[in-house]
Amino acid sequence: MPAIQYEYHPGHLAASEPTKYHPDQLPPGQMIINLGPQHPSTHGVLRLEVVTDGELIVDVVPHLGYLHRCFEKHAEALPYNQIIPFVDRMDYVAAMNNEHVFVMGVEKLLGLTGQISRRVEYIRVLVAELNRLASHFVAIGTYAVDIGATTPFLWLMRDREHLLRLLEWACGARMLYNYIWVGGLYYDLPVGFEERCQDLVRYLGPKLDELDKLLLENPIFVQRTAHVGALPLELALNYGVTGPMLRASGLALDLRRTDGYSVYPELEFDIPVGQGGKGTLGDCWDRTWVRAQECRQSLRIVAQCLARLTTDLKRTREFDPQAAVPKNLRTKKAEDLYFRGESPKGELGFYFRTQANSDVPFRVKARAPSFSNLAVLPALARGSLLADLIAILGSIDIVLGEVDR
């Protein structure tokens, strides 16, 4: 058989994959490197168009849209309670937090704020903080793999499995829950859940101490992350950066404290901020350190929720988690509302535009923290070494389901 002849078309890449730069327009010595969208270090189907001059980064252009699922368009065609499963699939490693914020926004639209039972509110915060722990474990563990450390990833995935099994016990799903409903919950906590969760809190405390020694104090990890990708506070504010990235730059802004939604005002917890402990304030090490400290604070919140749920808010035969779930989800008037909350990655907000006497929103706009945080990547990466780009990107902690929506 004759050999197969492949014909090369120089314009094929430009036609199929849009680029900002063209090789013919670059100065001598510069080149374009495509990182992703099939590269594990991009944490999903993210494509980075990287212009380099030797080992130095001249510019980085993130290309999005590989995981676009039309969330906002779906929301315009569904009743509020049927949108919740789609909200789960935005930040799919922190679905409880997505549900919590979205449902509280809908409840404010319907005038249900303040009518939710105390036990329901504490269960919501409990499962949201368990999911925050699981999300941070993924962020820190995969970041360790990006840098070249495998053991912290395996240890954190082992401990995350305990969290996912608890959440699966509560609602039947490991990642995409549909557990927090408008007006209540899908179901009460299973019998024995509080005791098992208390065991987990006692187990995870020493494990976080091990994480400090294994990863955060590791000389190789410190060398790869300290003084790398430092984000000045003014630049973070200008780009709309929120969450651990913003707090690592020195600003103690946490919506659980500043907005005081749900029962967070009744709980005691600290807001860790970056201190430049190993390098420059707001560098990659600071961002990882802040997430690790937030895990400790989430354990404090979980312990306080369990204390309330096993004393004055303990389960009774009369308790119905769906008692306040409305049968009619129709909004009474046309209005605009924006509601926000603190997801593991930052400020998650939903903008609603409603119509009178309709249970389907006219418009739902999601303000995803991963999208805004990713926007600062080019500013952080310019002038850095190509080897540091992966360290900078991993420290942002993005989920592409939330970036693209």
Residue-level pLDDT at 20: 79
Task: Based on the fold, state whether residues 58 and 77 are members of the same structural domain.
Answer: no
Does residue 15 surpass a pLDDT of 60?
no
Residue 394 CB partners (closer than 8 Å, separation 6+): 41, 43, 142, 143, 146, 147, 284
Q: Three-class SS of residue 378?
A: helix
Task: Based on the fold, state whether residues 56 and 94 are members of the same structural domain.
Answer: no
What distance, in Å, lies between the first and last C-alpha atoms of the chain? 48
- Confidence class of residue 4 from pLDDT cuts 50, 70 and 90? low
| Of 85 and 277, the one with more pLDDT | 85
Q: Three-class SS of residue 124?
A: helix
Task: Based on the fold, state whether residues 145 and 194 are members of the same structural domain.
Answer: yes
Task: Based on the fold, state whether residues 277 and 309 are members of the same structural domain.
Answer: yes
Task: Based on the fold, state whether residues 37 and 117 are members of the same structural domain.
Answer: no
Average pLDDT for 378-382: 92
When the pLDDT of each residue in the chain is averaged and rounded to a whole number, the result is: 89
Asked whether residue 2 is domain-assigned, the answer is: no
Task: Based on the fold, state whether residues 296 and 211 are members of the same structural domain.
Answer: yes
Structure tokens at 315: 């389960």
Residue-level pLDDT at 6: 41
Q: Which residue has tokens 């590989």?
A: 66
Burial per residue of 299-334, b for 16 or more beta-carbon CB atoms within 10 angstroms, e otherwise: bebbbbbbebbeeebeeeeeeebeebbbeebebeee
CB 229 within 8 A of CB 391: yes
- Confidence class of residue 8 from pLDDT cuts 50, 70 and 90? very low
Task: Based on the fold, state whether residues 39 and 106 are members of the same structural domain.
Answer: no
- Output phi, psi for 30, to 5 deg: -100, 150
329: enclosing H helix or E strand: none
Q: Quote the CA–CA distance of 286 and 276 in Å, as a whole number.
A: 6
Q: Do the bridges between strand 47-53 and strand 184-185 make them parallel or antiparallel, or are there none, so unpaired?
A: unpaired
Structure tokens at 219: 């000389």
Does residue 147 surpass a pLDDT of 50?
yes
Q: Quote the CA–CA distance of 153 and 174 in Å, as a whole number.
A: 19
Asked whether residue 257 is domain-assigned, the answer is: yes
Question: What percent of the chain shows pLDDT beyond 90?
Answer: 60
Task: Based on the fold, state whether residues 46 and 92 are members of the same structural domain.
Answer: no
How many domains are there within the chain? Answer: 2
Asked whether residue 6 is domain-assigned, the answer is: no
- Confidence class of residue 312 from pLDDT cuts 50, 70 and 90? confident
pLDDT tens string 248-290: 998 999 999 999 889 999 999 999 998 888 888 889 999 999 9
Asked whether residue 1 is domain-assigned, the answer is: no
User: Order of strands across the sheet with 346-353?
Assistant: 336-343, 346-353, 363-367
Residue 316 CB partners (closer than 8 Å, separation 6+): none
Name beta bridge partners: 347: 342
CATH number for the domain harbouring residue 377: 1.10.645.10
Residue-level pLDDT at 36: 75
Q: Which domain holds residue 58?
A: 12-63
Asked whether residue 4 is domain-assigned, the answer is: no
Closest CA to 384 of 301, 308, 263, 284: 284
Task: Based on the fold, state whether residues 164 and 53 are members of the same structural domain.
Answer: no
pLDDT tens string 315-364: 888 888 888 888 888 888 899 999 999 999 999 999 999 998 888 999 99
* 374: Cα separation from own chain's centroid: 12
Closest CA to 403 of 44, 11, 19: 44
- Confidence class of residue 42 from pLDDT cuts 50, 70 and 90? confident
Task: Based on the fold, state whether residues 172 and 313 are members of the same structural domain.
Answer: yes
Asked whether residue 80 is domain-assigned, the answer is: yes
The number of C-alpha atoms within 13 Å of 162 and in the hemisphere containing its C-beta is 16
Last residue of a domain, one of 26, 43, 63: 63
Residue-level pLDDT at 16: 60
Task: Based on the fold, state whether residues 359 and 386 are members of the same structural domain.
Answer: yes
Asked whether residue 68 is domain-assigned, the answer is: no
Last residue of a domain, one of 63, 85, 100: 63
Task: Based on the fold, state whether residues 147 and 20 are members of the same structural domain.
Answer: no
Q: Quote the CA–CA distance of 81 and 36 in Å, as a whole number.
A: 36
Residue-level pLDDT at 148: 86
Average pLDDT for 19-44: 81
Asked whether residue 3 is domain-assigned, the answer is: no
Q: Quote the CA–CA distance of 245 and 217 in Å, as a whole number.
A: 20
